[in-house]
Homo-oligomer: A and B are copies of this chain.
Amino acid sequence: MQYALELVGTYFFAISGALAVQNKDHDLFGVGFTGFITAIGGGSLRDILIGSYPLVWIENVNFLYAIFAGLITTFLFFPYVTKLRKTLFLFDSLGIAFFTILGVEKCLALGLRPEIAAIMGMFSAVMGGVIRDTLTNEIPILFRKEIYASACLAGAVLYLSLDHIGLVRNLNLLVSIGLIIIIRLVAVKFKLNLPILK
């Protein structure tokens, strides 16, 4: 069940990653490359930093196929999917929430400290987009979007707190993912931003 969700999440991550640069006249390969980097970037960076080898998508080729499926979907239905921005926004929010908590759990399972797990959970979710934006010469998503990475961090901290007081895992997963999604939706709906330092 969770494995299926991870594959589906990877599929949607590749689509939203590929679409993020549609206004740049990238060719077919460039769009595919960008989608690929977005999908694998965050988890790969997390695993390289914590030294967890082999990387998930290198060990299990199904993640690669999920990405390819996402890219082919993008290529075939390009004019159609670009109109589904709102749907994609929902999937993207669901995806970053889900991958944040999975990243946290992976770090805990490896015996890392909760402070590290929180940072790595956030990295899993957002660094793919950061790498994509850096490669395509844009200001990375977390410097411009309404409360984005900080929503992931908040969800990670909630998960770790509830885990510390002994909440059962599946409920904790739901609650923490829910918090991230709610923060994202509210922030985008009301254009909320964190204060700017002047």
Contact = CB atoms under 8 A, between A and B. Distances in A.
Interface string A4-33: 000000000000000000101111111101
B197 A142 contact: no
A84 to B, nearest CB: 15
Main secondary structure of the interface of A (DSSP, over half): helix
Contacts of A150: 29
A75 B143 contact: no
A56 to B, nearest CB: 11
Interface string A113-133: 101100100000000001000
Copies held by the complex: 3
- The number of chain A residues touching the other chain, given as a range, is 35 or more
Contacts of A138: 137
Contacts of A64: 115-116, 119
Contacts of A25: 196
Contacts of A113: 61
Interface of A: 22, 24-31, 33, 44, 48-51, 53-55, 58, 61, 64, 74-75, 78-79, 112-113, 115-116, 119, 130, 134-140, 142-143, 147, 149-150, 153, 193-198
18 contacts: A24-B143, A25-B196, A27-B143, A27-B195, A29-B150, A29-B153, A29-B194, A31-B197, A44-B49, A48-B48, A51-B53, A61-B116, A78-B197, A79-B198, A130-B135, A135-B140, A136-B139, A136-B143
